[in-house]
Every structure is written in C-alpha cells, then in structure tokens.
Amino acid sequence: MIEHHPGDDLLLSYSAGALGEGWSLAVATHLALCPVCRAAVAAAEELGGVLLDDAEPEAISEGALNRLMARLDEQVSSAPAAPAHAHAVLPQPLRDYLGGDVGSIPWKSIGGAVYQHLIPTNDSSQARMLLVPRGRPVSEHGHRGRELTLVLTGSFNDHTGRFSRGDVEDVDEEIVHQPLAGKGDDCVCLVITDAPLKFNGLLPRLFQSFIRI
C-alpha cells in the first residue's frame, strides 16, 4: 500500500506539461504503481480538455484541412516493439530510460557500499538510480534544492517515516536526513535532484565532486 505520494504541485505540472523531464520520469513511474495518483492526473487532464474546448478558436488557413487529408495515407514506420517483460520489476517509463529492467543497470560504486547510475535527461534536473544494500545507511545530508526519491525495491527509513515500493519522499532545503535501508531486499530508488546535496561529513563532501551527487 503506497502511503507517500508526490505533491499535488508535481501532479498538476505533469498533467499540464510544464514539468521538467527528470521530475516527469519520477511522476510517470510512480503513476504506474499508484492508481490513486493516476486518478488525480486524469482529473487534471480533464481540466486541460475543458480549457481546450473553451479556447477562443483561431482561424486556420484555407488549405490546412486538405494538406492534412493528403497525409492520412502516409505509411508510418512503427517503432520496433519493446521486448515483453512479463515479470518486470521497474515500470515501463523507467525501463525505457534504462534500456532494461533492474538487472541491467550498470551500477558504479560511490562509496559506503552505495551504488548509483546517472540517467541523462534534457532538463536541468539530475536523475539517478541509487542502490543501498539492505540495512545500510546513506551519509547524512541536507539539500540545496528539492530531492524526490521513489522507492522501487526494498525500503528505507529516515526520521520522517518509512518508505517502500511506490512511495515518494519529497524533501527540500529544510530537511537534513540520514536514510537507512530496510532489512528486506536491497533498496533501489530513482532520485531526482535540482541542486547538489549538502553532505555533513567531510569525506562524502570531498567525494561529492567526483560522483555528481
């Protein structure tokens, strides 16, 4: 049961098309796991439909309809079907960005038994996969901006609560936390940040510039 959802501001911006790519990836992946937020996004899109209906019509040039009609029979080369993942762990939007499921991620160690994999996006956010082995902590850190963490396997706790598959933790500058992975499965998360983190320990701070976290 999902207990922690992305904020309404993210769901609304995603629906309106105003949310950057990295954040949208986290929202779309959460939506695959959360029927409640899917219903909320459907409601917001309904709003878009009503606003489209109510838009003041602008004259379209004479030949536009004919030009469209002329293109209807064009052959479209369809993209090759993605291989079927009958037992996928990661939802589709994320598999698309990673080129496969959780087993195919080329993890890189960032110290403290924690691994990451950076996901390129075209907006200014930084998207990464993070792997924290069961029972292990992530160094205590604060934030210069917003940090969104979506749990995909395992779980973690910090002083704000417990987060498991599908849960989203949304923190800002105010929060300093030290997430600790739960005892079950290793904890794999999708993490989106819009500014570098502020580590409190000296070693992680020195290491930080190398790992772009």
Among 3, 64, 160, 161, binds another protein (CB under 8 A): 64
Q: How far apart are the first and last CA of the chain?
A: 30
Q: Give the Å distances, CA to CA, from 13 to 27, 57, 62, 74.
A: 10, 25, 35, 34
Token pair listed for 124: 């200014």
Report how far residue 91's alpha carbon sits from residue 77's, in angstroms, rounded to the nearest whole number.
25
Rounded to a whole number of angstroms, the minimum distance from the CB of residue 203 to another protein is: 34
Using alpha carbons, select from 181, 212, 211 the residue that is nearest to residue 195: 212
Please, what is the minimum distance in Å from the beta carbon of residue 126 to another protein? 14
Q: How far is the CB of 24 from another protein (least distance, A)?
A: 5
Residue 86: helix, strand or coil by DSSP? coil
Residues 22-51 close enough to bind another protein by CB under 8 A: 24-25, 27-29, 31-35, 38-40, 42-51
Looking at the chain, how many residues does it have? Answer: 213
Paired tokens of 70 = 């002329």
Site string for another protein, 147-186 (x = CB under 8 A): -------------------x--------------------
Nearer to another protein, 173 or 200 (CB): 173
20 binding another protein? (CB under 8 A): yes
Binding-residue pattern over the window 101 to 140 for another protein, x denoting contact by CB under 8 A: --------------------xxx-----------------
